Structure 1
């Protein structure tokens, strides 16, 4: 892209022209004007001439695509930054390679530093097991080391880290030579995170937000809480985001609310709601998602229930009364049944209309049934979901099938059924569980491993842009129309297409409906768009070499 720029001013007016602008206001738009942090106009190249002499900056898009910036509706920002700057085991192809990476990481770090890693997944390793404690002790050189599984619901640790947590061996979820879960996991995680200095934390947060901006992400929903991070981490992130150019951060604090006093404290933290990862259960990978029937590969367990329907009802009712958004982490079918039963009880107490108006949200919502989907629609619950989970663990040979059997696994993440029922969708990554990758997320939903759960690329794109804004109660954003916030990204991409109802793809410029703007072809094997520039509220927060 090339620019012609006038002297700097407090409220700059910018004309972008010579590209493709993804806007429902004009499906053939090639130009856009931004003024005072909002979209002022979208239209054709010829009409753009009228603005050229009266703007502060003209950007020649040179054929690039302009879209709304993405919103990632579920992120753990500090953990994402620590994974970006620290030990990342997500690409380890074997237990042997993972242990080698631990040795290399340990050798490169100060001797007095607690070691942090992330991302191992033994289901992908030929050994089919996590490292034993003795193996980790040796690889880490006897130092404290915390290594959560990719889903962050269990972890392997060294003896030296356990020694920093008095009483850990007596806590629920402690296993002498297996991953820690439950209270034992929470205790060692708290000890490991407490060792992160404020400077390390800030560096990690900056790294995560900069990486998000480089991917065309304009907003992230931080899903924090007392069992995940701590208040200092949460408030420091919100302060950092407010003080520097970068993606917006909408914060959720996952703590139960009993009354107005609790709700006031949540608001004073700067949280948009008492939602996010308020755990009803755990994860499938760690055998802690709560199921109606036992795991296929662990017949003696049906997972772990952290909240029952009564606790859900109390939280939803209190939040609704206080005008605060509520929400939960729920993955297993039994956990989702507890959620809908609890929300139903809350609606009977405070009124269905008030519950629907609050736009409460459920994170992950993987093992849905027709009955729970109908309840989501009835109560106006937003499904905050992660299509990359299916891409990573779906299919007849994936982790889901290992844990549940192929038949149950095929029911997971039913996005098409959710949309048919009228359930609002908001897409995210749960980073660092799966990477920040918005176009990859859209592709994963459009090419779901179970064909009947696929949705159109257009619907998936909407869930990853406008859906995230709607999930926080904003209906006027996430779309490039006059009056909307000027949150947009500029992309280098191949020819635009429109996905037809029968899944055929036609050139967008000859689409007979002519009311639908095109999107990049996201078919498997196609190169995904490359971000050239990301803008939030009219301010550039990322510019690549050609942006």
Structure 2
């Protein structure tokens, strides 16, 4: 990919750019090979021959050299600072054994002598041959007695050192405290707050910049930050939004997961800069930590998890948000939690009217253990399902963690993306990074090649949910698509043959039929090489440009 030099007087956001000689993924012209960007918006898409009419009137011409241009991805569920801390700190997601994880802890502690609290994460004992978490004594020894916060990969439980517990008075009396098990619930929230409170502003800034840079390098133009008092803190949230405003991208849409009851609460959420009182407002926990709320007990534990919100709590929150013109939203994974959420939304709709609730486009994060009844409720109330297909790739299948927690039969019902789309439920795809990595094409692949075949969707449907779906989830129907008038958020990719792929291995190899008028996408069948990002642009400004791309 090469380009001419723009005149120095033309600012990036104001200049006119012609991209030509590639493949442009646009429903306005399924065979487009060129595109014009003007003042941060798409001005035209069309054929190479027609592009000659624009050649003399642009500030910049980009020779795509056969590259593919698509809308930039939107990751609909991210924890940006935590993602950056994982990128710049201790990441145990690659540890193959408990012993290897402890070596990494020891090395990290030695390499960061000035950190007030050591931060890490990404461990998953279900993947280790030892089949157990690190003990407090092992972590005390590995860190030399320093404070360490080490959440499980799902970030709903954590192991910590004695020195960190000493920083949280009264933690041993909180719900979720166990002397020899990972901390959950209030005890986990307390130690997490202490750990994040010890992160310096410079550490936080470096982490946020690292996360932004990684997202941009992967063709992600927008991040939905899911923050809240039980996840991070107000200083972190405000600093993140301020940093995003000071940079050309990725743009950040902020959600603050705090339950509100009235207009005063709504004002507070707006003053923080949040789009909604949504995101990880916990109705329950996670399956990996045995804290998701189920109708029937876990297969490998003698309980059914715990509820953090009931239907009355949900109804009050949804009503207050709807009255204030805010989006409401909830973290709900277990079937009992999803029942509570849908029953609460129904109660709010009965009070305020169905049309008002639907118009607010409230959302539910994760939504894993859906039933036909809760899927129907999502469709009825216009709830967006903000989902993470990489969860199924990591923990699905008859031999995976889901089957271990729930039994194979229940596990096969999880993450029913095809049923959601058939019912007309809006989908927005994300990563929940750092729970699973920022990886947009991998996310699309995971949805299209779900471990349970009946839940698979087409590559095209998954791609739409990861681009346009994220914009629709914030109430914008005019973005996430390369058509005239849309924001110029796009990515340029080096990739192989473009295909039209359905959710079935037998037809996934069909090449584009020119008669279909359907723009192709890269081959995402398992084993195929994923596209390689050359450039990412947000509102006409380049936020990532690969050297020698």
Give the TM-score category using the shorter length: over 0.9
1:354 to 353, 356, 374: 356
Distance apart, 1:152 and its partner CA: 0.2
- Provide the rounded CA distance (Å) in 2 between the counterparts of 1:446 and 1:223: 25
Residues 313-347 of structure 1 show CA distances to partners (whole Å, capped at 9, x for unaligned) of 00001100111100000000000000000000000
Q: CA deviation at 1:68?
A: 0.0
In the comparison of the two structures, how many residue pairs are matched? 545
Deviating beyond 6 angstroms after TM superposition, the runs of 4 or more aligned structure 1 residues are none
Kept in 1: contact 2:78–2:430 (CA 8 A): yes
Task: Identify the residue that residue 308 of structure 1 maps to in structure 2.
Answer: 310
Structure 1 residue 301, shift from structure 2 partner: 1.1
Q: What do you get for the CA RMSD once the two structures are aligned?
A: 0.9
Task: Give 1:111 shift.
Answer: 4.5
Contact 1:252 1:274 in 2 (8 A): yes
What corresponds to 2:124 in structure 1? 121
Partner of 1:226: 229
Task: Give the secondary-structure state (helix, strand or coil) at the position aligned to 1:445.
Answer: helix
What is the CA deviation profile of residues 486-539 of structure 1, one whole-angstrom value per residue up to 9, with x for unaligned ones?
Answer: 0000000001001258651355443431x2100000000000000000000000
Deviations 1:128-149 (A, max 9, x none): 0001110010011110000000
In 2: Cα distance, 1:505 partner to 1:224 partner = 38
2:75 pairs with 1:59: no
- Out of 479, 482, 485, the residue aligned to residue 477 of structure 1 is 479
Output the CA distance in 2 between the equivalents of 1:537 and 1:396.
44
> What secondary structure is seen at the aligned counterpart in 1 of 2:500?
strand
How many Å apart are 1:483 and its aligned residue?
A: 0.2
Partner of 1:3: 3
Contact residue 449 and residue 503 of structure 2 kept, 8 A: no
For structure 1, the 5+ residue unaligned runs are: none
Structure 1 residue aligned with 2:139, among 133, 136, 139? 136
Question: What is the Cα deviation at residue 6 of structure 1?
Answer: 2.9
Alpha-carbon separation, structure 2, partners of 1:385 and 1:500: 20
Q: 1:450 is matched with which residue?
A: 452
SS at match of 1:218: strand
* Separation (CA, whole Å) in 2 of partners of 1:203 and 1:74: 20
Q: Pick from 202, 208, 219: which aligns with 1:216?
A: 219
Which of 273, 276, 280 aligns to 2:276? It is 273
Q: In the alignment, which residue of structure 1 is the partner of 2:30? A: 27
Residue of structure 2 in register with 1:95 after alignment = 98
Q: What residue in structure 2 maps to residue 536 of structure 1? A: 538
Q: Is the 8 A contact 1:498 1:511 kept in 2?
A: no
Distance 2:69 2:166 in 1: 53
The alignment status of 1:237 with 2:237, answered yes or no, reads no
User: How many angstroms apart in 2 are the aligned matches of 1:501 and 1:212?
Assistant: 27
- Alpha-carbon contact 1:257-1:318 (below 8 Å) kept: yes
CA distance in 2, matches of 1:141, 1:111: 13
- 1:112 Cα deviation (Å)? 5.1
Which residue does 1:328 correspond to in 2?
330
CA 1:111–1:281 in structure 2 vs 1: closer, same or farther (change >3 Å)?
same
**What corresponds to 1:504 in structure 2?**
507
Contact 1:496 1:507 in 2 (8 A): no
The 3 A distance-change label for structure 1 pair 506 and 350 is same
- What SS does the corresponding residue of 1:6 show, helix, strand or coil? coil
Equivalents in 1 of 2:526, 2:89: separation in Å?
30
- 1:62-105: CA deviation from partner (whole Å, max 9, x where unpaired): 00000000000000000000000000000101100000000000
* Partner SS state of residue 5, structure 1: coil
- Counterpart-to-counterpart distance in 2, 1:459 and 1:546: 32
2:4 counterpart SS class = strand
Whether 2:380 is the aligned partner of 1:408: answer no
Shift of 1:244: 1.2
Unaligned runs of 5+ in 2: none
TM-score of the pair, normalised by structure 1:
0.99
Distance 1:455 1:431 in 2: 22
Deviations 1:16-38 (A, max 9, x none): 00000000000000000000000
TM-score normalized by structure 2? 0.98
Residue 153 of structure 2 is matched in structure 1 by 150
Deviation for aligned residue 1:245: 1.9
Matched, 1:254 2:257: yes
